[in-house]
Amino acid sequence: MRFIYTVTVIVLLTTFISWLNHRLLSRLFPFYRAKIIKYGYSLMTLITIFVVGYGFAKRPPFSTIENQVDHYWAYGALDWLFGQLILFSFQPLIYVAHRFIRGKTQAAVKNSNSSTTGMTRRDFLHNTLAVAPVVAIGISTNGIYEAQTNMILQRYSLSMPDLPSNLNGFKIGQISDTHLGPYFDLSKLDTAIKLLAQEKPDIVVITGDFADDLNLLKPAIDRFNKLEPSIPHGIYFCLGNHDYFRDITMVRAELNKSRIKNLENESILLVPGERPFYLLGVEYPWASNNAQSGINVSVSRRQQNFAAANQNVPSNAFKVLIAHHPDALIDGFAAQIPLTITGHTHGGQVVIGGKSLLSNYAYMRGLYQENGVYGYVSSGTGHWFPLRIGCPAEVSLFTLQG
């Protein structure tokens, strides 16, 4: 019932925003009152409503696209939807600029002793405002293009005064939230693996939400199986919410047959010594026993997961914690874990002026430091909807320095 409600709200919101945008534009600019423009606007909105409604009806949304033609339909609809949202955010500015220009024009006409013919500079500026929808669609198109073509390597050198000497220069590579499917295919995974492999990490961690299209699960795991012999201390995984959404039984089975070690509320010794190095991994802290019911998390379950992962680790050990949900940073900071590595948020995917517009987490994006220890939230190597503005897809590399 909650899912039907969500889809209904998205469809109604899309309809309302598109209708409101056209109504406001037609009041300010006669061009938008033409029937062909009105009908074209309505047609694009109807197509978008259908495609978006159908896409969100999947579990998870937009998880599979059957063929290349459907791909273009999805891209076109999402481009229009994102463009309408951007245009909606422009509307107050458009209105203020319209009032300012018209006010100046009326004042100039009143104070002028002669009639003016032709287009004035103010008329030109006013007409320029009418192209706002084109600008909005352009921003949306660029955001979709950037999401599908741009991937960066984020390097971090982390100073740790208490780092065991044998771990100085130790490199940890992270891939997160690949969401293998229509918007992140195997060729993009190859790009991510190549970016990491060239840095020669000592371990690689995959922090959940691996595959939305399970047809890509086995070939993706095979790529990591081939990579693993070149990673001195192995490849490790922790479960995300989308791993449950798709088929958690299948995901676990395929991981168990692979060279990837899945850490579910447990730890593993990586480097022995006077201060041994342990990697801790926790799963998604569901708020209920039904992992298909939503993405809500439980504080008590999160704490229980962390306690289980930490229980057999020597008190003097050097620790790194991996988790999908960024709330794990709360536990890492409280327990003085030198480094906690997470994902899930995708950094919000839309970042303006260094701030995520979709910031609804305590820890949203990038590197944090509290109580002398570090926590990291990946912006995601992939995504399940293809729009990124100011927040490129990434793989991350952490070099530990004593």
Which CATH class, in words, describes the domain spanning 152-401? alpha beta
Instruction: Give pLDDT, residue 119.
Output: 52
Does the pLDDT value for residue 92 go beyond 70? yes
Residue 145: count other Cβ atoms within 10 Å of its Cβ.
15
Six-digit token string for 128: 């320029």
Distance CA 14, CA 25 (A): 17
The position carrying tokens 């379950």 is 301
Q: Binning pLDDT at 50, 70 and 90, where does residue 160 land?
A: very high
- Looking at residue 313, the DSSP 8-state letter turns out to be S
Question: Residues 162, 168, 173, CA angle at the centre, nearest 5°?
Answer: 110
Residue that wins the pLDDT comparison between 354 and 365: 365
Return the SS3 of 399. Answer: strand
Peptide bond just before 229 cis, omega within 30 deg: no
Six-digit token string for 351: 């970042």
Does the pLDDT value for residue 118 go beyond 60? no
- What residues does each domain of the chain span? 2-145, 152-401
Instruction: Give pLDDT, residue 325.
Output: 97
Distance CA 48, CA 81 (A): 7
Does the pLDDT value for residue 114 go beyond 70? no
Six-digit token string for 56: 């969100």
Return the SS3 of 350. Answer: strand
Return the SS3 of 223. Answer: helix
Strands of 195-317 (E only): list them: 203-206, 235-237, 260-262, 266-271, 277-281
Six-digit token string for 82: 């994102």
Instruction: Give pLDDT, residue 107.
Output: 58
pLDDT averaged over the chain? 89
Instruction: Give pLDDT, residue 109.
Output: 53
372 — alpha (psi -120 to 50), left (phi > 0) or beta? left
Distance CA 298, CA 316 (A): 29
Q: Binning pLDDT at 50, 70 and 90, where does residue 110 land?
A: low
Does the pLDDT value for residue 237 go beyond 60? yes
Share of the chain above pLDDT 90, in %: 66
The position carrying tokens 């260094």 is 354
pLDDT digits (tens, 9 = 90+) for 10-68: 778 888 999 999 999 999 888 899 999 989 989 998 988 888 777 766 655 665 666 66
Distance CA 124, CA 182 (A): 43
Does the pLDDT value for residue 291 go beyond 80? no
